[in-house]
Amino acid sequence: MSLCTELVLDITYHQVKAPLFLVAQDLTLFCICVNVQSQPASLAAEDISTNSNGPKQDSLFDDDPEDLFAEATEEVSLDSPERDVLLSDGPSPAITPITPPTSVITPRIVSCVFIEEEEGGDSFDIHISVSDPEKVGEYMTSMSLFKRSEFAVKRRFSDFLGLHSKLASKYLHIGYIVPPAPEKSIVGMTKVKVGKEDQSSNEFVEKRRSALERYLMRTVKHPILLKDPDVLQFLESSELPRAVSTQALSSAGLLRMVNKAADAVNKMTIKMNESDAWFEEKQQHFENLDVQLRKLHTSVESLVCHRKELSVNTAQFAKSAAMLGNSEDHTALSRALSQLAEVEEKIDQLHQDQANADFYLFSELLGDYVRLLTAVKGVFDHRMKTWQKWQDSQMLLQKKREAEAKLQFTNKPDKLQQAKDEIKELEGKVQQGERDFEQISKTIRKEVSRFEKERVKDFKTIIIKYLESLVQTQQQLIKYWEAFLPEAKAIS
Amino acid sequence: QRKESLRSVSVDLNHDASLLIDIPDALCERDKVKFTVHTKTTLSSFQKPDFSVPRQHEDFIWLHDTLVETEDYAGLIIPPAPPKPDFDSPREKMHKLGEGEATMTKEEYTKMKQELEAEYLAVFKKTVQVHEIFLQRLSSHPVLSKDRNFQIFLEYDQDLSVRRKNAKEMFGGFFKNMVKSADEVLISGVKEVDDFFEQEKTFLLDYYSKIKDSTAKAEKMTRAHKNIADDYIHISATLNSLAADDMTANKKNLEKLSDLFEKFRKVEGRVASDQDLKLTELLRYYMRDIQAAKDLLYRRARALADYENSNKALDKARLKSKDIPQAEEHQRQCLQKFDKLSESGKKELTSFKGRRVVAFRKNFIEMAELEIKHAKNSVTLLQGCIELLKSN
């Protein structure tokens, strides 16, 4: 059984007193703690033939959990020849799950650290630790993506945005679902910068820190993106060139642009001849999913709001009950009222904690997936654009061929040659266009499969955590009321 | 139109088998509630041993007001009048629900509607209970149970509205208003000679404002709980839609989750309504009862003022050597009235405290027990779902 190296991430927020003149810039720095550990690989099926993009691959994608990782390493042509070593050879029976071939990095997030810094600005510290993978089994190769095993880097919020915009520009148009970065929030950020040390600005910071952690986690969980040099640089290098361009364009802005482009594409006369029903089906599926998730998100946001309200109201009642207890002249009843007030005060804290769980576990999960679906939809739109480009080349080729045919009957050898040259060029373009289209289609199939699996796993894990938080609250309630009951009975 | 069969909720007051009253039935017509007041008695003063009459809320108010106006009862705490049935809240919510129907699935809408109907029913039950308790307070009071108007209320098989109109003409209703606006001033203005009443005055004035505040805060708490239960309905419905669209193995998980939230919201709803009954309604009732006690203090304070005035009048008469016997008689009467009020008032206020303590104890115990029960239920539901999700 081979081992996987695990990447463990840990982001902490790091606030610093910013001198006033620096307020205008984005000075937020985050510390990312990355820990790469060895872990037994979950069962992974063998890689299968990756040559065709036909439907027969479809069902297999859905069945094999780890298939994607093996596939992915073959696909990426970006860098490191090491990748070839990770591939398994040729097709193998799809039925039996066989020894997984590779050491795959699956990152995991740990905890958060808060550090003080001398210079001006807020920072998030990324603490990274990588443990060396062990060499076990026939197919194992040790792959060290990282130079050191444990390290920490400081990153600004704009660095995260910069990372995302780089990844988006590299991968979105060829069909990879690049996780969107958290959005900028002017109001919240201004408060923090001005140094307002109140609860709402602390909440904002925590929201942002948590969002960045999830964002980075999703990014490094993607087998292709993790190996991207920009990502590695982001995680590892002590100094990162300032991402200036992102100040004008947050990830949300980028996605908006992508969507606008997509809309423009749709509004054109593209009625794509969808040869593959799978894509139409999936697009519809994601449309429906989007609608439902947004609705669910709204309901959960309402829940968070009402839970916070309940907490506040309970606290107010507690105070009122305490005053009533003071006013009560019957001694035993007075004591019971005071105890009731104490119980309610504890319960109000309980509701506050539950509201946080409602938000950070349930609400943010839904919010993340609503944003992720935008990226998914974008990827489908890119496929359409790729198709369109291919079709355009094809139409142009057709025209040139017709023109060439006409030229055959004229006595213009130069023009004829030119035409022939152009045709040759265009033929190449058409072939490339077809390849690109097939490639993006294939990539999207894999990506969608990976995405769906991740989604299901993600939801399950987090929902279970959320339900456990609800259980905890209820169990605490039992404790509090059971403690109060004898007090109530003691009234005489 | 709605006809509901309800059992008598309060058992504490209906001890004496010689006069048992309950409201087994009530009808809601538009905004008017018609209560069926059922009496079972062994007393010969009644014509029949077992009978029922239909009564409206206004009839209860008439009865309460006549009791308040009765001089002989000035030294008693008159049980507070039941508040007017108020269906505004659920009606408004029903209206809002109708407006938002398009944004929900059919199932969601049905559930929300059911919830509102349950709320409507809860308001209905509460109003029946509070009218019932009013009558039972009277029937269990040694003096008030013998009141002629009380008997008419219970027995008269014709419409009471004629009597109600006459009563209004007689008292004009201005007295009631005067009492309400003047009591604080008069009570605080009078020089108190009796320690007991001095303490009671201080206590009741302060306690009233505190309990009024607690009632309002408790109500807000309950409302927030209800809102959370409603949110769970929406969450459950959307999860169901997600499950319907899902073609993978995840479908079952979503269905389980949807089911969990559906069950969970019912528990939350119960938590809200139990808290409402055991806490908010308790506080609200005793707030009104404290007001009734304050009214007693007011009447006694007025009697004391009358007595002091009669003293002054007597002195004046003695000075002028005119109408001395009348002045003496008047003064004697005032003193007698005041003494009677003080004696009866002391008894009433003491038993009132006892009643209050008993009621608080009972409701606090029940509330704590219900909270524990609901929380345990919730834990079972949640853990069951977690197990199912983990096992998949």
What digits encode the pLDDT tens for the residues B275-333?
Answer: 998 999 999 999 999 999 999 998 888 888 888 889 989 998 999 988 888 889 999 99
Closest partner residue to B203 (CB to CB) among A295, A321, A329 is A329
| First vs last C-alpha separation in chain A | 69
Rounded Cα distance between A400 and A419, Å, is 7
Closest partner residue to B231 (CB to CB) among A302, A317, A488 is A302
If you average pLDDT over residues A168-178, what whole number do you get?
90
Exposed/middle/buried for residue B294 (C-beta within 10 Å: 0-12, 13-18, 19+) = buried
Give A419 or B13, the one with higher predicted confidence: A419
Q: How many angstroms separate the Cα of B283 from the Cα of each of A263, B214, B360?
A: 60, 7, 9
| DSSP β-bridge partners for residue B40 | B20, B50
If you average pLDDT over residues B154-178, what whole number do you get?
65
Q: Which residues of B touch A460 (CB under 8 A)?
A: 250, 253, 389, 392
Q: Under a CB-based contact definition with an 8 Å cutoff, are residues A293 and A369 in contact?
A: yes
Rounded Cα distance between B290 and B356, Å, is 10
Rounded Cα distance between A369 and B143, Å, is 70
Under an 8 A CB cutoff, do A485 and B253 touch? no
Helix (H, G, I), strand (E, B) or coil at A93: coil
Q: Under a CB-based contact definition with an 8 Å cutoff, are residues B302 and B186 in contact?
A: yes
Rounded Cα distance between A94 and B215, Å, is 68
A141 falls in which pLDDT band (50, 70, 90)? very low
**Alpha helices by DSSP H, B140-172:** 148-155, 161-171
Give A124 or B199, the one with higher predicted confidence: B199
Tell me which chain B residue has its CA closest to the CA of residue A470. B382
Q: What is the pLDDT of residue A53?
A: 34
If you average pLDDT over residues B23-30, what whole number do you get?
86
Residue A96 pLDDT greater than 80, yes or no = no
Q: Which among B266, B295, B291 has a CA at the least distance from the CA of B76?
A: B295
The nearest CA of chain B is from the CA of A44 a distance in Å of 19
Rounded Cα distance between A363 and A428, Å, is 49
**b/e per residue B157-166 (b: at least 16 CB within 10 A):** eeebeebbee
Q: What is the pLDDT of residue A237?
A: 80
Rounded Cα distance between A51 and B168, Å, is 96
What tens digit of pLDDT does each residue of B345-361 get?
Answer: 999 999 999 989 999 99
Q: What is the pLDDT of residue A448?
A: 94
Q: Which among A223, A215, A219 has a CA at the least distance from the CA of A105?
A: A223
Q: Which among B357, B187, B351 has a CA at the least distance from the CA of A329?
A: B357
Under an 8 A CB cutoff, do B235 and A484 touch? no
Under an 8 A CB cutoff, do B386 and A464 touch? yes
Cα B126 from chain centre: 8
The nearest CA of chain B is from the CA of A462 a distance in Å of 11
Rounded Cα distance between A24 and B312, Å, is 81
Closest partner residue to B360 (CB to CB) among A285, A299, A333 is A333
Q: What is the pLDDT of residue A442?
A: 93
Residue B84 pLDDT greater than 50, yes or no = yes
**All domains in chain A, ordered by first residue:** 259-491 (1.20.1270.60)
Longest dimension (CA), chain B: 107
Residue A52 pLDDT greater than 80, yes or no = no
A85 falls in which pLDDT band (50, 70, 90)? very low
**b/e per residue A81-114 (b: at least 16 CB within 10 A):** eebeebbbeeeeebeeebebbbbbbbbbbbebbe
Under an 8 A CB cutoff, do A481 and B386 touch? no
What tens digit of pLDDT does each residue of B302-317 get?
Answer: 888 888 889 989 998 9
The nearest CA of chain A is from the CA of B279 a distance in Å of 11
Rounded Cα distance between A211 and A11, Å, is 10
Q: What is the pLDDT of residue A409?
A: 83
Q: What is the pLDDT of residue A6?
A: 52
Give A392 or A203, the one with higher predicted confidence: A392
Full DSSP string of A394-427: HHHHHHHHHHHHHHHTSS-HHHHHHHHHHHHHHH
Give the helix/strand (H/E) hosting B36: strand B32-41
What tens digit of pLDDT does each residue of A419-474 get?
Answer: 888 889 899 999 999 999 999 999 999 999 999 999 999 999 999 999 999 999 99
pTM score, two decimals? 0.78
Q: Are strands A105-109 and A3-14 parallel, antiparallel or unpaired?
A: parallel
Give me the count of residues in chain B. 392
Rounded Cα distance between B142 and B146, Å, is 7
Please give the ipTM for the structure prediction.
0.88
Q: What is the pLDDT of residue A10?
A: 67
**b/e per residue B49-82 (b: at least 16 CB within 10 A):** eeebbebbbebbbbbbbbbbeeeebbbbbbbbbb
Exposed/middle/buried for residue B244 (C-beta within 10 Å: 0-12, 13-18, 19+) = middle
The nearest CA of chain A is from the CA of B285 a distance in Å of 15
Under an 8 A CB cutoff, do B245 and A327 touch? no
If you average pLDDT over residues A50-71, what whole number do you get?
33
The nearest CA of chain A is from the CA of B49 a distance in Å of 38
Helix (H, G, I), strand (E, B) or coil at A222: coil
Full DSSP string of A217-231: HHHHHSHHHHT-HHH
Residue A57 pLDDT greater than 90, yes or no = no
Q: Under a CB-based contact definition with an 8 Å cutoff, are residues A384 and A272 in contact?
A: yes
Q: Which residues of B touch A452 (CB under 8 A)?
A: 248
Under an 8 A CB cutoff, do A289 and B245 touch? yes
Average pLDDT over chain B reads 86
Helix (H, G, I), strand (E, B) or coil at A39: strand
A187-191, A211-215, A259-263, B305-309: lowest mean pLDDT where? A187-191
Closest partner residue to A299 (CB to CB) among B206, B234, B364 is B234
Q: What is the pLDDT of residue A83?
A: 32
Closest partner residue to B379 (CB to CB) among A302, A333, A471 is A471
Tell me which chain B residue has its CA closest to the CA of residue A314. B221
If you average pLDDT over residues A96-105, what whole number do you get?
36
Q: What is the pLDDT of residue A232?
A: 86
If you average pLDDT over residues A140-145, what whole number do you get?
42
Residue B177 pLDDT greater than 60, yes or no = no
Give A178 or A16, the one with higher predicted confidence: A178
Residue A25 pLDDT greater than 70, yes or no = no
Residue B204 pLDDT greater than 80, yes or no = yes
Q: What is the pLDDT of residue A140?
A: 31
Hey, of A366, A471, A472, which one would you mutate to test binding to chain B, going by the most B CBs within 10 A of its CB? A471
Q: Under a CB-based contact definition with an 8 Å cutoff, are residues B282 and B363 in contact?
A: yes
Determine the topology of domain B208-391 in CATH.
Substrate Binding Domain Of Dnak; Chain:A; Domain 2 (1.20.1270)
Residue position matching structure tokens 């507690």: A318
Q: How many CB atoms lie within 10 A of CB A425?
A: 13
If you average pLDDT over residues A292-300, what whole number do you get?
95
Q: Which among B138, B160, B140 has a CA at the least distance from the CA of B67?
A: B138
What tens digit of pLDDT does each residue of A309-367 get?
Answer: 999 999 999 999 999 999 998 999 999 999 999 999 999 999 999 999 999 999 999 99
Written as six digits, the tokens of B351 are 């038993």
Q: Under a CB-based contact definition with an 8 Å cutoff, are residues A146 and A9 in contact?
A: no
Residue A132 pLDDT greater than 50, yes or no = no
Under an 8 A CB cutoff, do B356 and A330 touch? yes
Residue B40 pLDDT greater than 70, yes or no = yes
Percentage of residues in chain A having pLDDT higher than 90: 36
If you average pLDDT over residues A35-58, what whole number do you get?
36
The nearest CA of chain A is from the CA of B256 a distance in Å of 12
Under an 8 A CB cutoff, do A467 and B382 touch? yes
Rounded Cα distance between B80 and B284, Å, is 11
Q: What is the pLDDT of residue A40?
A: 38
Give A408 or B13, the one with higher predicted confidence: A408
Tell me which chain A residue has its CA closest to the CA of residue B364. A488
Full DSSP string of A229-261: HHHHHHHH-S------GGGT--HHHHHHHHHHH
Q: Under a CB-based contact definition with an 8 Å cutoff, are residues A325 and A341 in contact?
A: yes
Half-sphere exposure for A222 (CA within 13 Å, toward CB)? 24
Q: What is the pLDDT of residue A17?
A: 45
Q: State the Cα angle at A147 between A145 and A148, rounded to 5°.
A: 115
How many residue contacts between A and B have a Cβ separation below 8 Å? 156
Q: Which among A58, A145, A67 has a CA at the least distance from the CA of A101?
A: A67
Under an 8 A CB cutoff, do B389 and A464 touch? yes
The nearest CA of chain A is from the CA of B105 a distance in Å of 11
Give A255 or A398, the one with higher predicted confidence: A398
Hey, of B270, B280, B376, B382, which one would you mutate to test binding to chain A, going by the most A CBs within 10 A of its CB? B382
Hey, of A301, A307, A331, A470, which one would you mutate to test binding to chain B, going by the most B CBs within 10 A of its CB? A470
Residue B382 pLDDT greater than 90, yes or no = yes
Q: Which among B90, B88, B87, B85 has a CA at the least distance from the CA of B127?
A: B85
Residue B11 pLDDT greater than 50, yes or no = no
Q: What is the pLDDT of residue A134?
A: 34
Under an 8 A CB cutoff, do B228 and A333 touch? no
Written as six digits, the tokens of A249 are 């364009």
| First vs last C-alpha separation in chain B | 49
Rounded Cα distance between B154 and B294, Å, is 28
Q: Which residues of B touch A488 (CB under 8 A)?
A: 361, 364-365, 368
Q: Under a CB-based contact definition with an 8 Å cutoff, are residues A246 and A167 in contact?
A: no
Cα B248 from chain centre: 54
Exposed/middle/buried for residue A193 (C-beta within 10 Å: 0-12, 13-18, 19+) = buried
Q: What is the pLDDT of residue B378?
A: 96
Q: Which residues of A touch B239 (CB under 8 A)?
A: 296
Written as six digits, the tokens of B300 are 């006694």
B125 falls in which pLDDT band (50, 70, 90)? confident
The nearest CA of chain A is from the CA of B276 a distance in Å of 13
Q: Which residues of B touch A310 (CB under 8 A)?
A: 221, 224-225, 227-228
Q: Which among A180, A95, A160 has a CA at the least distance from the CA of A370?
A: A180
Rounded Cα distance between B121 and A216, Å, is 51
Domain ranges of chain B: 208-391
